[in-house]
Amino acid sequence: MNIAARMAQIAPFHVMELMAQAQALEDQGRTITHLEVGEPDFATAAPILEAAQRFLSGGHVHYTAALGLPRLREAISGFYHTRHGLDIPPERIVVTAGASGALLLALGVLVNPGDEWLLPDPGYPCNRHFVRLLEGKPVSLAVEAASNYQPTAAQLAESWTPRTRGLLVASPANPTGALLDPETMASLANGVATRGGSLLVDEIYHGLTYGIDATSALSVSDDAFVINSFSKYFGMTGWRLGWLVAPQRFVREIEKLAQNLYIAPSTVAQHAALAAFHPETTAILEARRQEFSSRRDILLPGLRTLGFEIAAEPQGAFYVYANSSRLAEDSFTLAEQLLTQAGVAATPGLDFGSNAPQSHMRFAYTVGRGRIEEGLDRMATFLSSR
């Protein structure tokens, strides 16, 4: 019995393996400062929990439509109007099993075997693996701090070939926290459109920006596919719920795929998410955003003091992507040493692509300020003792 050949090109998610190693150390009695995982430490906001509990008390937990609860699709449409001033018809909104489900649905209706898709590097690893899973070919665009770790229109033009079918970007991005400004977003959308391609934009960190607002791709293109999630800003990671906004002509095809892949998103999660847009929930989430900003303001200068270089400061999400070359030749080895000797878990650049991964690390400010300060102290002690 043979393993499918495609699996040789799908790498493990190293941060998950690092988390498992950290857990093993904790099971041995070690205390670990977790700066590796992109999961906020906050509990689900009370209004969301209460909505789920009210729904569960009725006992009628059945399938919904594959495209999601009509009421939730309408609520998301209202969110775009309130937050971004955009009129997005509910009919274009597909509620999905997490943002990963949204990405799989979008790529499932767009990717043919052999199609090339352009993706920024460094970038979220699952993006390129999903393209490969569908027998497409992910093509890395090396992005640098000079362009705020985002691709440019010139880079798009240089990299586009007769086999290229689309561009997949994120704003804010993981692992860099970088945003696409409105002008660059528009130029990329126009560049893709003039070449007959598709633009897919990951916006799951929208709402988590600091001193600047993120621009939705939907404000510059009706043809863009936009992914969002209830996991990050809304703090519902374990509920596994996201959404996809697609051009109307693709919705029926997406619906067919959703029916076959997972039948419907979680019913309980959808009813809980109806409360995510209530004013009392928004007040809680905005307070948490301010807390993330405070954590960022501790971690950024702290890492620089230790010798990490941060050439482009993160404007969103909850990550700092730092150059570690002054401290070690290989970030993977450094990450292992920080974990085993300092008790600090951070993610090596290996997860995020082939663009200088050995000299970069990602630190997540998803734990409290005291834990961040503790992690910085632990790293300082370790680095000074080498």
Quick: pLDDT tens for 327-385.
999 999 999 999 999 999 999 999 899 999 999 999 999 999 999 999 999 999 999 99
Task: List CB contacts of 335: < 8 A, sequence separation 6 or more.
Answer: 18, 345, 346, 347, 348, 361
- Model-wide pTM > 0.85: yes
Would you give the DSSP letter of residue 231? S
Task: List CB contacts of 110: < 8 A, sequence separation 6 or more.
Answer: 165, 166, 198, 200, 225
Domain range summary for the chain, segments of one domain joined by +: 5-43+281-385, 61-278
Angstrom CA distances, 310 to 15, 172, 177, 359, stand at: 21, 17, 12, 12
Quick: pLDDT tens for 69-91.
999 999 999 999 999 999 999 99
Query: Residue 159 is encoded by which pair of tokens?
Result: 């990299």
Q: Which of 346, 357, 276, 366 is nearest to 323 (CA)?
A: 357
Question: 138: part of which helix (H) or strand (E)?
Answer: strand 137-142
Angstrom CA distances, 132 to 43, 121, 164, 224, 373, stand at: 35, 16, 14, 21, 40
Q: Taking residues 207-231, what's their average pLDDT? A: 96
Buried b / exposed e across 168-192, counting CB within 10 Å, b at 16+?
A: bbbbbbbbbbbbbbeebbbbbbebb
Q: Taking residues 314-324, what's their average pLDDT? A: 97
Task: List CB contacts of 106: < 8 A, sequence separation 6 or more.
Answer: 200, 225, 227, 244, 246, 254
Buried b / exposed e across 254-268, counting CB within 10 Å, b at 16+?
A: beebbeeebebbbbb
Residue 234 CA, chain-centre distance (Å), reads 13
The residue type found at 232 is K
**What CATH number has the domain spanning 5-43+281-385?**
3.90.1150.10
Contact 155, 369 (CB under 8 A): no
Quick: pLDDT tens for 44-73.
999 999 999 999 999 999 999 999 999 999
Contact 36, 348 (CB under 8 A): no
Percent helix, strand and coil across the chain, each to the nearest 5: 50, 15, 35
Residue 283, helix vs strand vs coil: helix
pLDDT band at residue 165 under the 50/70/90 scheme: very high
User: How many angstroms separate the CA atoms of 207 and 232, rounded?
Assistant: 9
12 Ramachandran zone, left/alpha/beta (phi>0; psi -120 to 50): beta
Taking 90 as the threshold, does the pLDDT of residue 316 lie above it? yes
Quick: pLDDT tens for 95-126.
999 999 999 999 999 999 999 999 999 999 99
Asked, colleague to colleague, whether 5-43+281-385 and 61-278 share their fold, the answer is no
User: How many angstroms separate the CA atoms of 187 and 185, rounded?
Assistant: 6
Q: Domain 61-278 class?
A: alpha beta
User: How many angstroms separate the CA atoms of 275 and 217, rounded?
Assistant: 25
**Confidence (pLDDT) at 132:** 96
Taking 90 as the threshold, does the pLDDT of residue 93 lie above it? yes
